[in-house]
Amino acid sequence: MRIELRDVRHVYSPGTPFAVEALKGVSLTVEPGEVLGVIGGTGSGKSTLVQHLNLLLLPTGGEVLVDGADAVSMDRTALRRRVGLVFQAPEQGLFAPTVEEDVAFAPQRLGLNEEEVRGRVREALGLLGAGHLAGRSPFALSGGERRRVAIAGVLAMGPEVLVLDEPTAGLDPTARGDLMGLVGRLKASGVTVVFVSHDLDEVAEAADRVCALEGGTVRSVGAPDEVFYDDLSLAPATVRVAAAVGERRPGFGRPVRYGETLAALRSLMGGAA
């Protein structure tokens, strides 16, 4: 599935004294099978942008195209099955007595038979490394476990694109690492991932492309090295250090991920540990 935003604008409370233009002509594509990281400061339009990917928000102007067709003309329920959106702190919506029942709720609404629902629940929980939690109460889990269960509920719908809005916010480092590992597993399984994050290190590690927003417009979009090295104010500390080394060592390259940077530094030091 390819999603394209063409000159998308969005105004909250239009025609009132409280009108706010959150998106000001954003053009962006989400390519099949990629991991797209969306970054930007508070109020830059990140959450507003991703809510247009399945038309949870309708554009005030411009177009949203899905595989070349105008998304506005599509069945909204069907579109939202194909493009799953996980909000910040999704665990607040957990409600069922057991994890298995909670994850099963959404696919049951699709009219699937019991066997297929169970299969989807097993697959979603397995992908998240949470299969062992199936029989437990979601209210007896840790914060990171609850977050994974909530995401599993969306995955059980079988989306082609999964949109994660600040998926690691408020979690401890171990839980954050677990969830970012999920992004790689989703990509390997064929799911396209769009994730919003304030953590530039997470984006550097996981994203195939980066979209940087500022004031409701696209400031930069491209491969992580293009976005980060072309504008170091957008870059995580690891990249800024590598850029400083590269100024003195032109052959150093433009590493982005931590492992790449560490390998480049070791090479520079002649293989020293």
Q: Is 66 part of a structural domain of the chain?
A: no
Q: Is 177 part of a structural domain of the chain?
A: yes
**Closest CA relative to residue 88, chosen from 152, 156, 153, 151:** 151
Spell out the long-range contacts of 16-23 with Cβ–Cβ below 8 A and sequence spacing 24 or more: 21/216, 22/48, 22/216, 23/48, 23/49, 23/52, 23/59, 23/216, 23/217
What pLDDT, on the 0 to 100 scale, is given for residue 205? 95
Across all residues in the chain, what is the average pLDDT? 94
253 and 190 share one domain: no
176 and 257 share one domain: no
Q: Is 63 part of a structural domain of the chain?
A: no
98 and 214 share one domain: yes
Q: Is 29 part of a structural domain of the chain?
A: no
Cα–Cα dist 224/133, whole Å: 35
Mean of the pLDDT values across residues 114-137?
A: 94
210 and 250 share one domain: no
- Is a pLDDT exceeding 90 seen at residue 270? no
Mean of the pLDDT values across residues 35-56?
A: 97
83-99 tens-digit pLDDT: 999 998 899 999 999 99
- Is a pLDDT exceeding 80 seen at residue 216? yes
241 and 159 share one domain: no
- Is a pLDDT exceeding 60 seen at residue 32? yes
What pLDDT, on the 0 to 100 scale, is given for residue 62? 98
157 and 198 share one domain: yes
Mean of the pLDDT values across residues 240-263?
A: 92
Query: Whole domain around residue 212: which residue ranges?
Result: 34-52+76-221
Mean of the pLDDT values across residues 14-34?
A: 97
Q: Is 245 part of a structural domain of the chain?
A: yes
DSSP readout, 75-102? -HHHHHHHEEEE-SSGGGG--SSSHHHH
What pLDDT, on the 0 to 100 scale, is given for residue 14? 94
Q: Other CB atoms closer than 10 Å to residue 171's CB: what's the count?
A: 16
What pLDDT, on the 0 to 100 scale, is given for residue 273? 47
Query: How many structural domains compose the chain?
Result: 2
For the chain, report the end-to-end CA distance as a whole number of angstroms: 44
205 and 253 share one domain: no
Q: Where are the beta strands (DSSP E) in 68-206?
A: 69-70, 83-86, 161-165, 192-196
What pLDDT, on the 0 to 100 scale, is given for residue 271? 56
